Structure 1
Amino acid sequence: MSNAVANGLAGAGAGIVAQIITYPLQTVNTRQQTERVAKKGLTFRYSDSAPAAAAGTLVQILQVLRNEGWGGLYSGLKPSLFGTAASQGIYYYFYQVFKNKAEAIAAARRDRGYGDGTVGMFSWLVVAAIAGSLNVLLTNPIWVLVTRMQTHTQAERKIMEEKKEALLGGASESRFMPSSLQDKLDELDTTKPRPYGTLYVAREVYNEAGITGFWKGIVPTLIMVCNPSIQFMIYESLLKHLREKRASNKKISKSVTALEVFQLGALAKLGATVVTYPLLVVKSRLQAKQEIGRNISSRYSGTLDAIVKMIQYEGFPVFYKGMGTKIVQSVFAASVLFMVKEELVKAYILLAGKSRRVMVNLLK
């Protein structure tokens, strides 16, 4: 097995572990990003839900647990796990393939008298960007489904609110509320969101926008490739610096511990998240169900339209909604992912070495 395949499989396994642990935070964060709250002087028709958006992360988690149970926090987990395994597997496979090529080019340049044989920071950025772009193009449909499933209760709530407003608006001229109208309002209040399976969501996306609907948000997502690019650039640079420091000190072990990998992964992800978070908010808005707001202020025809309307109706702070939750979730997930992935690769190398020694002994 090549080291690219080993890294791809290790990345997929580590990604699944990290996703399961941090998924409730991811669900809450997606809902925070897609919740509309008008800036001062403007009013959305569904502004009654604004307090939920402003609530703290822990409060929101408890609200989801009370109203929807654990299923609400883990809505969309199955396609998310599949998407994570696919994304991490594809990303780490191509990342290792292009990393090997970059290292070979650097070594060849050193042999010709250019450089010291190490891969530069810009080269790491390019390697990560290429791997990330291929990953995005292949897996974006999965994340459209996941975003829909994470936010479907929000969308259902907005639709119910609009129906109630329409019924109340029609009865506003009457002094007394007809019993039939009250029955309809009571029915809307007690109606729970319908089950939202993966196949149902896929049909819904296709019926709304055809096959192109599965690539909604692709523009900001492709731009978001700079997130893992920045992350891996920081990570590889920090790792290189740590190893060089270890090599210069003969009294300290040269190997990097799992805890150190965890810490480097956390620092790398923190830096990348702060820089690219606004793009993540735009992507989530585009991929969420558009019925989440039927008025023109919250229906987006594309990336530029979404950015303009978000600034016009909600102001610049909207681009950092839920960033605190995202930092906690993504930094912890990335740290777990890096740590588990490196340990899986070490285990593979150890097993491969033992297998080779066994084969050599058998051939003697």
Structure 2
Amino acid sequence: MSSAIANGLAGAGGGLIAQIITYPLQMVNTRQQTERAVKKGIDDQCGPLPPSYHPSGGTLVQVLQVIRSEGLGGLYSGLKPSLFGTVASQGVYYYFYQVFKNKAESIAAARKDRGHGDGNVGMVSWLVVAAIAGSLNVLLTNPIWVLVTRMQTHTQAEKKIMEGKREALLKQASENGLVGSSELQDKLAELDSLKSNPYGTPHAAREVYNEAGILGFWKGIIPTLVMVCNPSIQFMIYETSLKSLKEKRAANKQGLKNVTALEVFILGALAKLGATVATYPLLVVKSRLQAKQDIGGNVALRYSGTLDAIIKMIRYEGLLGFYKGMGTKIVQSVLAASVLFMVKEELVKAFISLAGKSQKLRLNVFK
């Protein structure tokens, strides 16, 4: 088994386990990112947003709200396509990462043979390797994550639509002097009796296609491609730290020679923390673009593209809007990355060990 395939399979396995463990936090974080809230006192020419569009508490409060209104299953909305997306993304990313990493290392070794450099891959090369692998991953798997975002935020969007319809009825009744009338009560009761249709992956796919055609599956691709710098930063920190630790271990003959799973866990956590803080605003813009747009009559709720989203978020929500739910994301991302790195390294060792045993077995058979 080649190192690229071993790393691809290990990355997929590690990503799958990390995703299952941290998914409820990811789901709540996506809803936090897509929750619109205008700045206090802003003079919106299209009219102020309803009070219901303002933040609804911290992470724990929102988790409890989801459980109360949607049950425990609500914390796992969109889990199936998310697991498929995680396996696909991690497998694609780690496969191409290892392919280009091997290439970079061979180039560095060749340069050393020619008397240039020390044979080590520099930080810039690590960034390039991670960026190329990340770009290929984004282009191939973005449609999956558009569907996941839709499924994670569907209940939230439906709630906003229903609130908008209720407020429109109340406003119309007030203008016509029908407040408190039986006609208004009947309409409100009819509205309250409406139940959301089942919403699965096929429904999300049809909704995206009906809204924007085939290109709708690549919504948010620009900020997502720019966010390739997130794993680039992450892997630069991780690879550099891991290399430094291994060199210190090699120099210390009396200490441990191998890096432990706990140390990989800690290095992965620190690497992901730095990358997440640096790129979080792009993640919020991406989630806003991929979520359902037509959730109210106010133009502040709809974005036609990346630049439009950035301009409207600055205008209506201020710079703090780009950091909504960041605390939740840091906890989720650091935990997921730590688990991923730890599991991946152990799986790589297991795959290589199994491949070695299999090769020895074949040699013994043919002796």
Q: TM-score range by the shorter chain?
A: over 0.9
Residue type of the partner of 2:2?
S
The residue aligned with 1:35 is 35
* Distance apart, 1:122 and its partner CA: 0.6
Which of residues 48, 52, 70 in structure 2 aligns to 1:48?
52
Find out whether 1:164 has 2:179 as its counterpart. Answer: no
Alpha-carbon distance between aligned partners in 2 of 1:71 and 1:194, rounded to the nearest angstrom = 16
Find out whether 1:69 has 2:85 as its counterpart. Answer: no
For the 8 Å contact 2:27–2:152, the answer to whether it is kept is yes
* Distance apart, 1:291 and its partner CA: 1.8
Alpha-carbon distance between aligned partners in 2 of 1:49 and 1:118, rounded to the nearest angstrom = 52
Which of residues 111, 114, 139 in structure 2 aligns to 1:112?
114
Listed one character per residue, the Cα deviations across residues 11-45 of structure 1 (whole Å, up to 9, x for unaligned) are: 11111111011000000000000001110113743
Find out whether 1:103 has 2:93 as its counterpart. Answer: no
TM-score, length-scaled by structure 2: 0.96
Cα RMSD (Å):
1.2
For the 8 Å contact 1:91–1:132, the answer to whether it is kept is yes
The residue aligned with 1:8 is 8
**2:258 aligned counterpart, secondary structure:** coil
* Distance apart, 1:296 and its partner CA: 1.1
Alpha-carbon distance between aligned partners in 1 of 2:296 and 2:8, rounded to the nearest angstrom = 40
For the 8 Å contact 1:281–1:321, the answer to whether it is kept is yes
TM-score, length-scaled by structure 1: 0.97
Residue type of the partner of 2:205?
A
The residue aligned with 2:243 is 240
The residue aligned with 2:268 is 265
* Correspondence 1:65-214 to 2 at 5 A: 65-172=67-174, 173-174=176-177, 176-214=179-217
* Distance apart, 1:180 and its partner CA: 3.0
* Correspondence 1:307-326 to 2 at 5 A: 307-326=310-329
Unaligned 5+ runs, structure 1 = none
**1:291 aligned counterpart, secondary structure:** coil
Q: Which moved more, 1:128-137 or 1:68-77?
A: 68-77
* Distance apart, 1:48 and its partner CA: 2.0
Alpha-carbon distance between aligned partners in 2 of 1:170 and 1:294, rounded to the nearest angstrom = 15
* Distance apart, 1:176 and its partner CA: 4.5
Find out whether 1:281 has 2:284 as its counterpart. Answer: yes
* Distance apart, 1:136 and its partner CA: 0.3
The residue aligned with 2:294 is 291
The residue aligned with 2:230 is 227
For the 8 Å contact 2:77–2:152, the answer to whether it is kept is yes
Count of matched residue positions in the alignment of Structure 1 and Structure 2: 362
* Distance apart, 1:354 and its partner CA: 1.4
Alpha-carbon distance between aligned partners in 1 of 2:215 and 2:343, rounded to the nearest angstrom = 35
Identity %: 77
The residue aligned with 1:343 is 346
The residue aligned with 2:61 is 59
For the 8 Å contact 2:11–2:340, the answer to whether it is kept is yes
For the 8 Å contact 2:170–2:179, the answer to whether it is kept is no
Residue type of the partner of 1:351?
L
Residue type of the partner of 1:157?
K
Alpha-carbon distance between aligned partners in 2 of 1:273 and 1:61, rounded to the nearest angstrom = 22
